Structure 1
Amino acid sequence: MAINQSLAHGLNILLLYEASTPLFTVSEISKQLGYSQSKTYRLVRTLTQYDLLREENGTAQYTLGLNTLRLGLLAKGQFNLSSLAKPFMKELSLRTKETVLLTAVNGTRGVVLERVESEEPVRFSIFQPGVTLPLHCGASSKILMAHLPEEEWDHIISKEGLKRYTPHTLTEAESLKAHLRQIRKRGVAFSDQEVDRDVRAVAAPILDPNGELIAGVSIAGPLYRISRRRVGELSKLVMEYAQKISSQFRNESNIAARGGSTNIQRKRRV
């Protein structure tokens, strides 16, 4: 894929900033990056218009703007969410003896934020933190896609496609959309060998007080242990723990709003 040069040059300017170098003039940026003065000025002006840079009190020196702070806090909140959720995930894994995943939306894909692996000899042990996932299959991903605005579904499908991983993967757009609506209505997702053979999973959404998606928590394990009879029990548990994490997130956010020390920030997607 071709790189948008103007975008790349603008990002290069933002990446110049460090704690030790919080201020630059246009001339300094031009010299550091090898861009012409006129080009650098145009880029800095655009970044300033989007509040990614701001001029420091009429000094002709530029520092990072409020939108870079906002984005940084959102990114930091992602990692704080993992720390916040981990104790609940460990407890859920111990209760179920299965692997528990924390996932979130990353553009048009899902991403694994955290994982607590089952201690059973036979266990679901893939999907390390940082791995990205398709959103159209697997409980840990479908729970995310189901809670996105429906107008975003077509964009995700258009960009990512509906790859068939197993005979159980849904690959027809309208069938998938109907399935996602059912998931959203029930508040829980179930997958039966949709991404990996011999693996079943259930998942529930972690929502903010406004009902907007923060992340998803899921339980995954081998087919022979997650029987269809057990799915109901696991669904209740994953919904219970998703609610616990949501409540804890809300408490931490309230502390932050009152000026406390926590760095948890509300976010709709990663």
Structure 2
Amino acid sequence: MSKTTEGGSQTLGRGLEALTLIGESAAPLSVSELAGLLGVHRSMAYRLVKTFEQYGFVERNPAGELELGARLGALARNVAKSLQAAAAPHLATVSDELQMTALLVVFDGEAAVTLSTAEPRLADATVAQRPGTRHPIDNGAPGRVIRSMLNPEGYPAKDFEFSHDEVIPGLSSIAVPLLLPQGKPAAIAVIYPPLERDRHHIAEVLTVASARISASLGVRS
């Protein structure tokens, strides 16, 4: 491998690592924090960020901190279109019935990724979750569902997983497994403010929707 090719591979790898760090961080990162996590000089991190901003992969919040940009959400929406098409009406039904934001979450080989969402149509206010958002499978209800599917001996499956104040501060989540072709791990979930709700009822609604999505994809439990 030539030095030029090797240098290009290292730069690409560092850029992908930077996007992963920004996406998986529990709170928006500053450029200095990103540089520290990458182990590079701040000027290098700044150049990476400027490139990401140019292509819409990273945005800055009002405080100047880094968040994943809308372009990644657009890319995520173009992934697995058949799965999204199969899930969309059932996520909408769950969202309207429970008056909560419903999520389709898949495993990308490293993390849990929100592939698509549905928000209740008649709610006065909703909780948004951007497609393309990633978080470790050790955190959050959907992540732990996927973790159990990947390693059922180490993490025995439950009827549903519940989490609070993990992936999104102040919010609760309930998730159930979603069976996909070729055994790919996935979950459907809802996120909602910390209100007293019947978790078992929520899980039942999600489980029915999960079975219907799987059936539409030709997967039988």
Task: State TM-score, norm by structure 2.
Answer: 0.59
CA distance in 1, matches of 2:175, 2:84: 16
Secondary structure at the aligned position of 1:207 is classed as: coil
* Distance (Å, rounded) in 1 between the aligned partners of 2:98 and 2:211: 17
Contact 1:205 1:215 (C-alpha < 8 Å) held by counterparts: yes
108, 125, 130: which one aligns with 1:122: 125
**Alignment pair present for 1:231 and 2:192:** no
Partner of 1:197: 169
* 1:244 partnered with 2:212: yes
Q: Is the 8 A contact 1:99 1:220 kept in 2?
A: yes
- Residue 206 (str. 1) matches residue 178 (str. 2): yes
Instruction: Mark the runs of 5 or more structure 1 residues left unpaired by the alignment.
Output: 9-75, 152-176, 255-270
Residue 195 of structure 1: CA displacement? 2.4
Aligned to 1:90: 92
Q: Equivalent pairs: percent with the same residue?
A: 21
Q: In the alignment, what sits opposite 2:62?
A: none
Cα separation, 2, equivalents of 1:82 and 1:93: 15
**C-alpha offsets along residues 78-113 of structure 1, whole Å, 9 cap, x if unaligned?**
221011100111111111110000010012111111
Identify the residue that residue 136 of structure 1 maps to in structure 2.
138
Match of 2:106 in 1: 104
**Which amino acid is 2:186 matched to?**
A
* Counterpart contact for 2:136–2:143, Cα < 8 Å: yes
Partner of 2:19: none
Q: CA deviation at 1:139?
A: 1.0
Task: Return the alpha-carbon distance in structure 2 between the equivalents of residues 132 and 141 of structure 1.
Answer: 10
1:53-72 map, 5 Å: none
| AA at the equivalent of 2:127 | F
User: RMSD of the TM alignment (CA)?
Assistant: 3.1
Give the 3 Å change call, closer, same or farther, for CA 187–250 of structure 1 in structure 2: farther
Aligned to 1:79: 81
Q: Cα 1:187–1:209, aligned 2, differ >3 Å: closer, same or farther?
A: farther
Q: Say how many residue pairs are matched.
A: 150
**Counterparts of 2:97 and 2:139, CA distance in 1:** 25
Find the residue that maps to 2:198 and give its secondary structure.
helix
Q: Secondary structure at the match of 1:147?
A: helix
Cα distance in structure 2, aligned partners of 1:108 and 1:6: 24
- Higher-Rg structure is 1
Question: After TM superposition, what 4+ stretches of structure 1 lie above 6 angstroms from structure 2?
Answer: none
Amino acid at match of 2:204: K
